Chains A and B, each alone.
Chain A
Amino acid sequence: MKKGAKGIGIFLAAAVLAGAVFGGCGMKNGGGQDGAVYRSVEEIKESGTINIGVFSDKNPFGYVDENGAYQGYDIYFGNRIAKDLGVDINYVSTEAASRIEYLQTGKVDLILANFTVTPERAEEVDFALPYMNVALGVVSPDSDVITDLADLGSEEEVIVISGTTAETYLIEHYPDIALQKYDAYAQAKTALENGSGAAWVNDNTEVLAYARQNAGYTVGIPSLGEQATIAPAVTKGNDALLTWLNEEITALYGEGFFHEAYEATLADTYGAAFVEDLVVEGDTAR
Chain B
Amino acid sequence: MKVKQISVFLENKSGRLAKVARVLGEQGINIRALSIADTTDFGILRLIVSDPDRALATLKAEGMTVSPTEVIAVRIPDRPGGLAGALGLLEEAGINIEYMYAFVTKAADDAVVVFRVEDLDRAISILAEKGINLLAGEEVYRL
The answer on A and B forming one complex is no
Question: CB within 8 Å of A: which residues of B?
Answer: none
Question: CB within 8 Å of B: which residues of A?
Answer: none
